[in-house]
Amino acid sequence: MIARLEGAVATRDYDRIVLDVHGVGYELIVPVRDIASVELGEKVAFFVAENIREDSYDLYGFRIEAERQLYRKLVSVNGVGAKMAHAIVSTYDAETLTTIIDAEEIARLSQVSGVGRKTAQRIILELRGKLVAGDSVGAAKSADPALQALIQLGYRVDQAQAALKDVDTSLDTSERVRQALREIG
């Protein structure tokens, strides 16, 4: 399984690039916003999600690990294929999409080409509150190791923040996490 590729951009098209990795060219389907941010010959790295079918072997590349995780969660939703998940991740970054799903903004999610109202409802139903990878993007901005620990344990950012609100910040991290867990439980 290919997890990450690093190399020079050999060619770029509307939604694809060819990444030259030590003389081997890998065609990656990437979010449209990333095409504009890379130059020919520039050395870049992409996290890779593979899509293997009977008639094709596609590599989807993402500059940020959280977007790759989000893509994987999207394709796990019944009725959402690789192309639709790519279109969604091309339209919204991980943080924005997490907010859209958690806020149940069906109309906004339906604006993505190919995503109808029923599909948007299904995505929201299946992924609401489960996007830890997307939450980690927001939590990465925080230097609080107790908050990050709670998120790694599977709690949403808002749950972790609420649990830590009244916990003394002068305590060591493990004690802060214990007290926050007591607060949650």
Per-position pLDDT tens, the chain of length 185: 899 999 999 999 988 999 999 999 999 999 988 888 889 999 999 999 999 989 989 999 998 888 898 999 999 999 999 999 999 998 988 888 888 888 889 999 999 989 999 999 999 999 887 775 444 444 444 557 888 777 777 777 778 888 888 888 888 888 998 998 988 87
Q: Is residue 10 part of a domain?
A: yes
What are the two backbone dihedrals, phi and then psi, of residue 46, each rounded to the nearest 5 degrees?
A: -135, 140
> How many domains is the chain built from?
3
Report the alpha-carbon distance of residue 136 to residue 116 in Å, rounded.
28
Domain identity same for 21 and 80:
no
Domain identity same for 125 and 82:
yes
Domain identity same for 47 and 106:
no
CA angle 88, 89, 94 (to 5 degrees): 120
Domain identity same for 120 and 70:
yes
The model carries a pTM of 0.68
Domain identity same for 148 and 106:
no
- Give 71's contacts (C-beta < 8 A, 6+ positions apart): 49, 60, 62, 85, 86, 89
Range of the domain at 76: 65-132
Domain identity same for 120 and 170:
no
Q: Is residue 58 part of a domain?
A: yes
| Residue among 150, 173, 174, 172 nearest 162 (CA) | 150
Q: Is residue 100 part of a domain?
A: yes
- Give 104's contacts (C-beta < 8 A, 6+ positions apart): 124, 128
Q: Is residue 174 part of a domain?
A: yes
Report the alpha-carbon distance of residue 151 to residue 129 in Å, rounded.
12
Q: Which two tokens stand for residue 64?
A: 């940020």
Report the alpha-carbon distance of residue 158 to residue 61 in Å, rounded.
29
Domain identity same for 127 and 165:
no
